[in-house]
Amino acid sequence: MRRRIGSGAFATVWLAHDEHLDSPVAIKVLADNWTGDLHIRQRFVEEGRFLRKVESPHVVSVYDAGELDDERPFLVMAYADQGTLADRLELGRLSQAQALTVVDQVGRGLTALHERGVLHRDVKPANVLFRTVGTASGEQVIAMLGDLGLGKAMDMSSRLTMVGGTPTYVAPEQARGEGLDARADQFSLAALAHYLLAGRQPFAHSSLSAAEDPDPPPPMGIGNADAEAVVLRALAKDRDDRFDDVASFTAALVDAMGGELDASPQAWVPVDPDLTRTEPGTGATAPTSPDTPAARRRWPALVAAALVLLLGAGAGWSLERASTATRTVADDTGTIKVTVPESWTAQVDPEQWVPVEGEQSQPSLAAGSREGWNTEEGAAPGVFVGILPSDKLPSRVPQHAECVDAPGGLIRDERNGDRSMTMIFSGCPGADYMVERVVQVNASQLLWVQVRSDNRATANTVLDSVATSGI
Tell me which residues are annotated as active site: 122
Angstrom distance (rounded) from CA 306 to CA 314: 11
Sign of CA dihedral 127, 168, 176, 464: positive
The residue among 311, 337, 341 whose CA lies nearest residue 326 is: 341
DSSP type of residue 267? G
Say if CB 412 and CB 175 are below 8 A apart: no
- Phi, then psi, of 277 in degrees rounded to 5: -140, 145
DSSP type of residue 95? P
> In sequence order, what DSSP letters do the residues of 301-319 get, joined into one string?
HHHHHHHHHHHSTT--HHH
Tell me the one-letter amino acid at 130. F
**Interior/surface letters 318-341, b for 16+ CB within 10 angstroms, e for the rest:** eeeeeeeebeebbbebebbbbbbb
Bridge partners, 26 (sequence order): 15, 77
Angstrom distance (rounded) from CA 13 to CA 76: 10
- 448 contact partners, CB below 8 Å, separation of at least 6: 384, 385, 386, 387, 388, 436, 437, 438
Helix (H, G, I), strand (E, B) or coil at 7: strand
Beta strand 11-18 pairing with 445-453: unpaired
Say if CB 182 and CB 119 are below 8 A apart: yes
Element housing 101 (H / E):
helix 96-115
DSSP type of residue 353? B
